[in-house]
Structure 1
Amino acid sequence: MAIDGIITDPNLATVLGASHDTRRQALILVDQIAATGPIDKASVDVQLEISKQQKLLITNLAQLRGLHRAAHIGARQTKHETADARQEVDRLHLQLQNLYYEQRHLQGEIAACESYKLVSAITSDSTAQAEMSSDIPTPGEFKYDLTANQLARELIEIKISHTYQQLPLIPVEEFLALNPDHTNDDENALMIARIEHERSEREALEQKRMELLKRKQKLIADNKKRKDDLANLDKELEKFIDAAKPIQKLFEKNVPAV
């Protein structure tokens, strides 16, 4: 495929047209010089014509340079716009992934709530059936009651296996003793309050741990500095002792032993 069919941008098409015109003008000038021979031996009219063609070629070259510069600037600007658009697409894609994650999380919460309601209903039904069948314990009814209990236990295990049920919270009695204002709360509100209490306690412990860690690092730095000071002092003492040895020998020579 020819390059004219590939390029569709109007600005690049203008550059390509100017390039063709410049090439054509250069070929005309070359052919004219080749047909004329040495320029210094040509007539005045021929030299004027060649000079005219040279001026046209220089004009076309100047125009081509300007168009090429403009096309280069436009291509660079297009690259920047493409990079900005790519970043925007990446940002939107990340936001979409976050929404998918939040959707899955909410679906899990909804499933947990539905399973909790189902457990409560089945447990109530199984309890009522057990009370009704206690007077006439036939084998068939006993088997049906056992199956309902098994199903209820399985659903209770599903409920207990939920993430928030596995948190190491303090017992309800201890929590109510610390926070008596939650005594009349229902099960959901009480669980939320216990989780919030656990979060605040952990944040306080984490803050205390960070403070102790900073204090430990400061003590380690102080101890290291003191060790360095003691090491420097030992070196200075050794230098002082070495410097005092000649004086000590001199005293030993001049002072008679008692």
Structure 2
Amino acid sequence: MHADLPAQLVDLLRTLSDELVAQRLAQDATAPPFDPQQSLASSTPLFSALHAVNRDTLSFARDCKARTQDARLEMDSAHLRLQNLMFERNHLEREICKCEEFESEYQNLPLLPLEDFHNLAKLPTPPAGFTVPVPEDPHELMLARLQFELAERQRFEDERKELGTRKAALLKTNQAKKTKLEELEKQVDDFVVVSCSSRELSAVRGAEADLGRPSLPSQAAKSIQSNMHEEPAAV
């Protein structure tokens, strides 16, 4: 239906109503009574057309409302999906920031310098725990360096335990030798004391013999001998 048709119908109805009003005003007392049937007959098609336009307009309005509602629902659904995507993106960005700011223990480990690590790959026989060839990916390279560091530390730990065992055995041997030396030293001291006491007794007896005096009484001799036995114990 043409867009100007409602306006044309309204203009025609307005013209018809103006004519009816003019006829009523122009009517005098001698004229026959006013008969509206002719005007109604001419206006009926106009009103029918106007009702049809009204029905079409209402139907079009309902269709517009339905399409608008569908579009609103689709827009709300799209907005909800967008909000979910934005929430997920923000969550992932926060997790990425946490991962980037996370300080792991390996960051503080005194690893072998990268240049020395690459030089080990050039050796005819790389050490145990060394990955050959050296990975180019930074993540894989860091894993290889950590694996080599772990192997080296385990090797050092095994050497430390072995050296500790050897140290304990040497300490035990040294302690046994020290005890034996102390016993020998005690025996030497006892021998020296006995030798000194014997020489003193011989000297006394020789002096008495030179002076023509009798030998020491047996009690004095026993006293000297008891002193000889007591002195090592004191030492």
Q: Pick the TM interval, shorter chain.
A: 0.3 to 0.5
Greater share of residues in helix: 1
Q: What's the TM-score, normalizing by structure 2?
A: 0.38
Q: Which has the larger radius of gyration?
A: 2
